[in-house]
Structure 1
Amino acid sequence: MNAQTLSVPAAIRARRTVRHYRPDPVPAELLDELLDLATQAPSAWNMQDRSIVVVSSETGRKALSEAAFGQPQPLEAPVVLVFVAETAAWEAANTDISAQATGSGAWNEQFTAMFESRAEFHSLRDRGLIRENAVKNAMIAATYVMLAATSLGLASAPMNGWDPELVKQAIGIADRDDLAITVMVTIGYTDAPPPHPGRRPRERTVHTELYAG
């Protein structure tokens, strides 16, 4: 673990998308901390309907680079995290989720009953939004990872340009229609942090009460 870590506001301001990496490996303890922090990300009804596949082998990263149309990040970065949305996770009993939440006092009996009814998930399914819901939850976890990586002195890049079937093949889920690729995040070190590309003024993108674009 790094002795000094950035605060959340500092990590948000310092984070950059890094496309080229040094070959230095990510220490196991840093990667463990990063993954622990990722699992703290919230999800609708605490369903935790997302998984992370950690790819560090040369063969696996090469396959991911090929799935990403030859982009260099997976080849250069020592670790690639593939975020998988589990679109059918809500159909399982998931008693461990409700047991933990009731045991800690986070959920009362009424909330637990609502969770067990899955009413919101049935509604999402009926409206064709169940996949979108799981993808959103996985993307929240990916955002946690990128900010945590920056706070720990690591570089990262979100990758959204890839063939989903090739990515699924690379991580061994080619036959799983219930699983969807959300995003890939490369993790490693950079010698030269790229400059900030800039953002529009807050007044351009933040509105009060009503959208005024």
Structure 2
Amino acid sequence: MAAPSAVADVIRARRSVRHYRPDPVPASLLHEVTDLALEAPSSFNLQARSIVTVTDGRRLKALTEATGGQPHPREAPVMLVFVAESAAAGEERGDIWEEARSSGAWTEQFAAASPENARLFQEDLQARGLAREYAVKDAMIVASFLMIAAAGAGLATSPMNGWDEEAVKAAIGIAGRDDLHIALIMPLGYPAEERVHPGRRDRALTCFSEVYGR
């Protein structure tokens, strides 16, 4: 077999880090890892997800309070908030269709039909109460890409649960926005601890062929 790729090495070495050094993350490096994260795929290529980078002390404090005082946001120099946009198909996103058309990624016919197809798809999701769920899925794919990109750049992250969504929204200036949802928050910085791999279950317990449980 071929030697493991650099990506495989990064994935296997990545750990969730809870304690961070105060060293700032260079703006150019932060720009690079967020750019890589935004390469993630999305439904209809709507890119109905955004990343809010928080470095301001007052907003970091608000995010810390939103998590009940957990150490991650209290110590990390950067907090990332992944926002899911459940009403994206109804917004003006002509830049997406035009870029895909001009690059040759999509045919003229496919690009022309995409706005209406995306709108109808999202209306159906809204009717079935699934619009938030689908938007959060796309945002979570971006978050996963970012964790790998950050690890490859020597940075640490930790996907966080345990936060108050309305408080997180208020911290990043979207209080009261029912069309926007917090998919995940994540500290980013240089690790102040070394985490040991806690192990994974035997793949026979979690990877099945054709039918779940077999």
- Give yes or no for TM over 0.5: yes
Q: Matches of residues 43-192 of structure 1 in structure 2 within 5 Å?
A: 43-117=42-116, 118=118, 119-192=120-193
Corresponding residue of 2:10: 11
The answer as to whether partners of 2:89 and 2:115 remain within 8 angstroms in 1 is no
TM-score norm. by structure 1 comes to: 0.93
Identity of aligned residues (%): 55
- CA distance in 2 between partners of 1:157 and 1:43 (Å): 22
Q: What stretches of structure 2 of length at least 5 have no aligned partner? A: none
Is 1:42 matched with 2:41? yes
C-alpha RMSD over aligned residues = 1.4
The C-alpha deviation readout for 1:166-203, integer Å capped at 9, x for no partner, is 00111111121111011001101113321111110111
Letter aligned with residue 11 of structure 1 = V
TM-aligned CA deviation for residue 57 of structure 1: 1.6
Corresponding residue of 1:195: 196
The answer as to whether partners of 1:58 and 1:75 remain within 8 angstroms in 2 is no
TM-aligned CA deviation for residue 94 of structure 1: 1.2
The C-alpha deviation readout for 1:26-82, integer Å capped at 9, x for no partner, is 112211111111111111111011111111122111110100011011110000000
Letter aligned with residue 177 of structure 1 = D
Letter aligned with residue 104 of structure 1 = S
Letter aligned with residue 35 of structure 1 = T
TM-aligned CA deviation for residue 127 of structure 1: 1.4
Letter aligned with residue 126 of structure 2 = R
The answer as to whether partners of 2:20 and 2:193 remain within 8 angstroms in 1 is no
TM-aligned CA deviation for residue 104 of structure 1: 1.0
Corresponding residue of 1:3: none
Moved more, 155-164 or 188-197: 188-197
Letter aligned with residue 98 of structure 2 = A
- CA distance in 2 between partners of 1:108 and 1:49 (Å): 22
Letter aligned with residue 88 of structure 2 = A
- CA distance in 1 between partners of 2:6 and 2:66 (Å): 34
TM-score norm. by structure 2 comes to: 0.93
Count of residues paired in the alignment: 208
TM-aligned CA deviation for residue 110 of structure 1: 3.6
1:180 partner SS: strand
Q: What stretches of structure 1 of length at least 5 have no aligned partner? A: 1-5
Letter aligned with residue 190 of structure 2 = Y
Letter aligned with residue 78 of structure 1 = P
Letter aligned with residue 10 of structure 1 = D
2:150 partner SS: helix
The answer as to whether partners of 1:53 and 1:82 remain within 8 angstroms in 2 is yes
2:159 partner SS: strand
